[in-house]
Structure 1
């Protein structure tokens, strides 16, 4: 059965049959739909094409039409149309070509430019004519709306069940679901004790890496479960400890929507799953599971883990305390601008303001300026925070010592504690960067006492 839209110029080109099914499950089970799509070769023969001039593109079987990013068959089709190799595109329904208008309308534009026709079960359309473009545009818009409707229908019941906390999500190790659907703690006491030990160790040492090193140093493995739910014990790793500490199920909470899908930055990359912040979780139902820790303790652990990430310029977190001679690593703040001061050991230990470290700003202490603007204080520490001796003429106080080593009246004395000194730093706007000399050994008991 010929169509009046088909001209000899179209018959000189190829007829392409595009075949697609959305999921691998449909490819395996919906064999009748697949057979109907391959039977479109006969439809092309009825429209006037020879068997040798009919090509089949079925590279997109099992891929959704919501995006053309991973559909190599659709990209091949568009490329061949752009090269004027295709005179007719056949599909069981135009929704098989694209369910996204951002992919659908560019195909209509290039088909209209290269005089390529589009056909489905209902008829043949010319994208270059006003009527043909109108009909194809309406079908494309309806197919995009239909995709949204299908998704909403599938997820409406799931969301309603999740809001009640009754959705059967995969449980972490240490929690079991009985045949009636009630969640209980794992009856294996070794699993319960090891999980409780992980939480107790973290609240004591306050870093994930230290928990891992402590467990491995004692020869204590962590319980893990494979995809079949079978329990086995493995050596502790940072990721395993982190998964235990960050999972809200151990705090007795049912949580749905902890992650989101982030679109790929490039067409050759697939979308990735990223974690949401705790305040953006979609559904949280507390006291739903038997808890290993309470919710305030869980929030405390999450805050400590987040604060241990040394990403001050992006998230304003201070980082975990490190080894070194300086006592106030991660807790010293600039009194002038309020930003955290980072540690630098080049040329001796010193604290440098993160804000003044930014490009086109002064690096730290304005040493190249006049003596009246220099505000660098040298702290000598025998065992505790010691006496400040400064060469700064602005902060200098009268005394019997020489001008270069006079004691600063604004600084604490040798008996001052770390919190007192921190309070002084925050109240004194003249201190921008502080250079410290520690007389005790680097690995002595005084190191790290500030935190």
Structure 2
């Protein structure tokens, strides 16, 4: 997760050394973790700073400040553990002017000094703050220009028919291009034929489960994944790139006219289901109350919107158990939960683990600090004993006492980690499949199709609500 090193000292400077390297920069000698650490250690020695701690974010970009070790360092600044921040270069900390202002204000608030080992900044004067802001503005401009160039290159590759995502069902990849997979293609054409003959998605899933057909990943056919396959323009040789459809990119299985006919069949069936149902709740029975652990209930509300003088209906979720027991209820609108789901899916790829609540992370940090403190104390006892500053009996007694305290702290930490460890870890490939499928298809699904996807793939959703914003902490999949 992050690396941490600690050295003892008698200096009044408690230095937090922040080191960051992005995935792209890891191969560059000057930007490597080892290179930055070596130069920053030498800088501390030259300044007479003996008390320093490393906060290392490996494989992280500077596009925002949501990085594990940076967030830990900020908490330590607030707690008074750190009073000086040292970086190799300003762009190791941030490339955003807005984030720079936020960080400098934060440092000032808690009386922390900012230093760069390779640049001269005096943040205590107006001129110095202007200079550092100009440097950050140039770094932000450089990052945004690079991002635009990369995006333009990706768009051009897509327009040339290069497919950057994993191959969808019915295809394999030769280099960056899609080619038909004859064996999977037969299954795909059979699926299309069955839909045209009147099979429902549930009947089609049951039919495929009973056949010899095997999905690309996993062993069971799901309605949600079948729906994504049948709505994917790769069927006629096109694919989506953002909001753009790249036509005639490769050889498909059916014509554009046949694809449009298939979409009309699926759409008409969904409209028929909508007329039968009063309301469609995407997350029905899936959201867990953070207060009591019960599932939130879904309800339809109607209100008058003043800005356009319209009566509007919307879906909401709240905990009836908390309401009945006269406890504060935590809930929100379906739109807010949907936005939170999109944000979670966009950020879940690097880790595929649940997000730990901030309060629990602080508990972890305290236990880590306690363990480090006890280990330091034991080293001091060993040093004093070796210099004949204490008797053997005193040494044995102190080591025994600190051993018990150390074992208890380590046990407490393990217990906390075990409690928040996912109880049903899912297969990584299966998780990647779900996340990829979500990113590719969610924006084009109808409300009923979104509901089917959630009901089919998601077991439960855990969330927190702060400042009226909903944040999903963990999703358990089937």
With the shorter chain as reference, the TM-score category is: 0.5 to 0.7
SS at 2:83's partner residue? strand
Contact 1:117 1:124 (8 Å CA) reproduced: no
How many residues were matched structurally?
A: 275
Q: Is residue 286 of structure 1 aligned with residue 284 of structure 2? A: no
Report the Cα distance in structure 2 between the residues aligned to 1:48 and 1:197, rounded to whole angstroms. Answer: 74
SS at 2:148's partner residue? helix
SS at 1:20's partner residue? strand
CA displacement at 1:32 relative to structure 2 = 6.1
Q: Deviations over 1:298-352 (max 9, x none)?
A: 234334445555xxxxxxx5526xxxxxxxx64xxxxxxxxx9789xxxxxxxxx
Alignment of 1:24-423 (within 5 A): 26-27=25-26, 30=29, 33-39=32-38, 40-49=40-49, 51=50, 53-58=51-56, 60-69=57-66, 71-167=67-163, 169-177=165-173, 184-188=179-183, 191-205=184-198, 207-216=200-209, 219-225=210-216, 234-257=219-242, 281-282=243-244, 284-306=245-267, 308-309=269-270, 317-319=271-273, 330=276, 358=302
CA displacement at 1:29 relative to structure 2 = 6.7
Contact 2:215 2:221 (8 Å CA) reproduced: no
Q: Deviations over 1:8-35 (max 9, x none)?
A: xxx6231221111112x64477586322
Report the Cα distance in structure 1 between the residues aligned to 2:44 and 2:301, rounded to whole angstroms. Answer: 69
Contact 1:16 1:89 (8 Å CA) reproduced: yes
Report the Cα distance in structure 2 between the residues aligned to 1:287 and 1:156, rounded to whole angstroms. Answer: 20
Q: Structure 1, unaligned stretches of length 5 or more?
A: 1-10, 227-232, 258-280, 310-316, 321-328, 331-339, 344-355, 362-451
Report the Cα distance in structure 1 between the residues aligned to 2:120 and 2:109, rounded to whole angstroms. Answer: 17
Report the Cα distance in structure 2 between the residues aligned to 1:237 and 1:357, rounded to whole angstroms. Answer: 32
Contact 2:18 2:55 (8 Å CA) reproduced: yes
Q: Which has the higher contact order (CA 8 A, sep 6+)?
A: 2
Distance 1:294 1:151, change over 3 A: same
TM normalised by structure 2 equals: 0.50
Contact 1:222 1:234 (8 Å CA) reproduced: no
| Structure 2 equivalent of residue 372 of structure 1 | none
Contact 2:29 2:35 (8 Å CA) reproduced: no
SS at 2:204's partner residue? helix
Distance 1:237 1:79, change over 3 A: closer
| Structure 1 equivalent of residue 7 of structure 2 | none
SS at 1:202's partner residue? helix
Q: Deviations over 1:24-65 (max 9, x none)?
A: x6447758632231120220221232x2x122111x212222
Distance 1:129 1:77, change over 3 A: farther
Report the Cα distance in structure 1 between the residues aligned to 2:16 and 2:240, rounded to whole angstroms. Answer: 48
Distance 1:38 1:203, change over 3 A: same
Q: Please say which structure displays the higher CA radius of gyration.
A: 1
TM normalised by structure 1 equals: 0.53
